[in-house]
Structure 1
């Protein structure tokens, strides 16, 4: 629990010591001030849940200090309790309430009353903090929702526009235009690529939904990490070569284990996609190896790298920015990857620095926990 800060102001040190002894608790940090000027400096530096002010102080009275607090944005909402040794007929209480005080106490203080009143304001402050945190979280959720809708719209628009243009071309063919077999094959390949992109987007959104509900199915069975990695590398070889990122695979002939083969293929595919996307047109190295009771698969690119402050963030939902580059996609790949790996009892590690590329290493126990 975060400690709550309280301010007590009195020109007499013995009064401060006595008051602090009354209200001190483990979850409270108490600041003392012996003058109005000292109190103002503390008020500008800290966020206080309550200020307890002595009315009768030299140079600047508690009433004057309260008036200054109410005139400053940072301090105007801090509850104020006045303490006075003066007789009630001096009408300090009326003046205190005029300055916005929430309570007024007379010396000698009633210990029980003081503790009770302070506890009330500490609790109110905590509830206010919780409400502010909840509001901030709600606002972040709304912003994430809006960003998500915007990203989905943008990412789907590109393949749909391409398919639309392809449809117009087919209309021309139907009207008598001729295309060579090579052109027709290229058209079909473009269609397939755009359809795959849309299917991948939809699959990612469905996986995130399943993860949130705790229903992402992991079905471990006998599988071969070397074989499935080789299969994924071959599937992405043409795509990597087209952007100048040929892939180099180092793997044993076989590396058996108990995993969900479909999900682990998804992990390798996500890592390869990122490596190709950020690879900077340089080769991508993929390595599969055994290490004790673990099986490792690592993907290394030689691209832009990831700054230390971003290395945790990129595994969260909808995070895509790396340095100044924002790649296409929904920013779900690494989030889903980590969840799948952890569901297998494994972990994913990242080694990277700006300008020096990135290496993602997945460590999987050879025998995965039951789904």
Structure 2
């Protein structure tokens, strides 16, 4: 009797050990299969038909289906981007010459001795053509940026040089409006794409000049531990608190500024550019007092990626220690 019990016990132990070994080997094969599929997916060489469905677990099958769908989605997205790229190129090319001709002919008409009413019509036509030209150029830039057709190339450099380039483009306009320009620069290294950062600062300066009738415009550069702040302050009409979030929306125009030039895309484009660089655009404003736009540029490449994260509003967090 004891011998039978011993035999049964030994057999049970052997069966248990064998089951464990089989399960572990099977699990190892599954993990190897999953690893191989993931590696091929990351390399862009995943092909669903290359894996034998009869030898895979249900988990492997589901993962294979997911990866196949993901690969298809990537190809579809790439195809759509190519279509958008072609469309944008066509729009830019097809509209450039007609608008340039309209501007040329209206300028020629402005030189003629026209009646007052006729001259007003020509001036209005010229202004609308300029507005259309600016709108198309802005939309092309924005579309290329959003679809990834063009990408920013941030590099470490002295941000004050980019600030000076932008300010130089608006010195004449500031003087024409009788405004005072206050400049407070310090050399400060930051991570930024010079071309697009100048574009951002020009948008901010354009708004400052446009909506300020008297007083001054102050441009300053101030370094912090993780960021460099470029601050553009004006003594203009200001922005009500309930509109301060809206001004960063695409094509938003306040009722108070509807009569002014512009299409409502500059601030949206500026914020997108700064976000791509790992920075952030901050606004402080009070009606009748003026506005302060602060553009924060990361001081290092690691700061642009590691120290900031997007919240549910699409804004970057991690700048609570800044002014």
Structure 1 distance, partners of 2:180, 2:211, is 13
Q: What is residue 152 of structure 2 aligned with on the other side?
A: 218
CA contact (8 A) 1:259 1:367 kept: no
CA contact (8 A) 2:158 2:189 kept: yes
Cα-to-partner distance string for 1:95-147 (whole Å, 9 max, x where unaligned): xxxxxxxxxxxxxxxxxxxxxxxxxxxxxxxxxxxxxxxxxxxxxxxxxxxxx
- Can you give the 5+ residue segments of structure 2 that lack an aligned partner in the other structure? 1-94, 114-126, 306-323
SS across alignment from 2:166: helix
Structure 2 distance, partners of 1:332, 1:322, is 16
Q: Which structure shows the higher helix fraction?
A: 2
**TM-score, structure 1 length as denominator?**
0.47
CA contact (8 A) 2:155 2:193 kept: yes
Residue 333 (1) aligns with residue 251 (2): no
| 1:269 aligns with one of 178, 202, 214 | 202
CA contact (8 A) 2:231 2:295 kept: yes
* Count of residue correspondences: 194
Stretch moving more, 270-279 or 243-252? 243-252
Structure 2 distance, partners of 1:224, 1:346, is 15
Answer with 1 or 2: which has the greater Rg.
Answer: 1
Shift of 1:237: 0.2
SS across alignment from 2:152: coil
Shift of 1:346: 1.1
Residue 281 (1) aligns with residue 222 (2): no
Between 1 and 2, higher relative CO (CA 8 Å, sep ≥ 6) is seen in: 2
Residue 168 (1) aligns with residue 101 (2): no
Residue 207 (1) aligns with residue 141 (2): yes
**TM-score, structure 2 length as denominator?**
0.54
| Equivalent runs, 1:147-158 vs 2, <5 Å | none
When residues 322 and 275 of structure 1 are mapped into structure 2, their CA distance, relative to the original with a 3 A threshold, is farther
| Equivalent runs, 1:124-273 vs 2, <5 Å | 163-168=104-109, 200-252=134-186, 254-273=187-206
Residue 311 (1) aligns with residue 244 (2): yes
CA contact (8 A) 1:351 1:358 kept: yes
Q: What is residue 17 of structure 2 aligned with on the other side?
A: none
CA contact (8 A) 1:299 1:360 kept: yes
SS across alignment from 2:170: helix
Cα-to-partner distance string for 1:169-190 (whole Å, 9 max, x where unaligned): 6789xxxxxxxxxxxxxxxxxx
Structure 1 distance, partners of 2:170, 2:131, is 13
- Can you give the 5+ residue segments of structure 1 that lack an aligned partner in the other structure? 1-152, 173-192
| Equivalent runs, 1:18-37 vs 2, <5 Å | none
When residues 324 and 274 of structure 1 are mapped into structure 2, their CA distance, relative to the original with a 3 A threshold, is closer
CA contact (8 A) 2:190 2:297 kept: no
Q: What is residue 300 of structure 2 aligned with on the other side?
A: 367
Stretch moving more, 297-306 or 213-222? 213-222
